[in-house]
Structure 1
Amino acid sequence: MPLAELKNAPKVIGTKQVKKAIAKGNARKVYIACDAEPHITEPIKAACLEKNIEIEMVESMEILGHTCGIDVGSAAVAIINE
């Protein structure tokens, strides 16, 4: 399961933090929830494409948040370089 790598990997959670990680060049892979609002996710997708960062789509914000160990959903999560 591709989400398994999120459990112990260094990561940032949430769209603002993911955008910062992408801009700084720290993001290795970005997970985006399919049910998140497009106006939130499209700029992240565009930034990933521009910086050549792998994108993994996840079924829901709830699953993404739960996988990261938080009690709320998350629209985006990035695995970062340490």
Structure 2
Amino acid sequence: MLTELASREKVIGVKQSARAIRDGRAQRVFLACDADELVLEPIRSACGSLPVEEGYTMAQLGRACGIAVGAAVVTVLN
């Protein structure tokens, strides 16, 4: 699944992901298992029937996206 993040169009971060979900542009959402639950809960709630992956750490998501820092939320776009 993480290889999908390197090759697909995506947004990184809570605000951008929330916007993509709200606008109907999200296809799949990755939530870091070690991120603060207060950060993740609004995104999880907004996802509805979207597929959500939660088995990766912030560091793993950041590396998969090609950034030098961790990512709490990454959203793959349509």
Instruction: Sort the TM-score into its range (normalised by shorter chain).
Output: over 0.9
In structure 2, what is the Cα distance between the partners aligned to 1:73 and 1:5?
A: 17
Amino acid at match of 2:70: G
Map of 1:59 onto structure 2: 56
Map of 1:28 onto structure 2: 27
In structure 2, what is the Cα distance between the partners aligned to 1:59 and 1:11?
A: 16
TM-score (norm 2): 0.96
Unaligned ranges ≥5, structure 1? none
Amino acid at match of 1:25: G
Runs of 4+ in 1 over 2 A off after TM superposition: none
RMSD: 0.7
Unaligned ranges ≥5, structure 2? none
Q: How many residue pairs align between the two structures?
A: 78
Map of 1:18 onto structure 2: 17
- Percent of aligned positions that are identical: 45
Equivalent of residue 78 in structure 1, options 49, 61, 75: 75
Give the deviation of 1:72 after TM superposition: 0.4
Map of 2:7 onto structure 1: 8
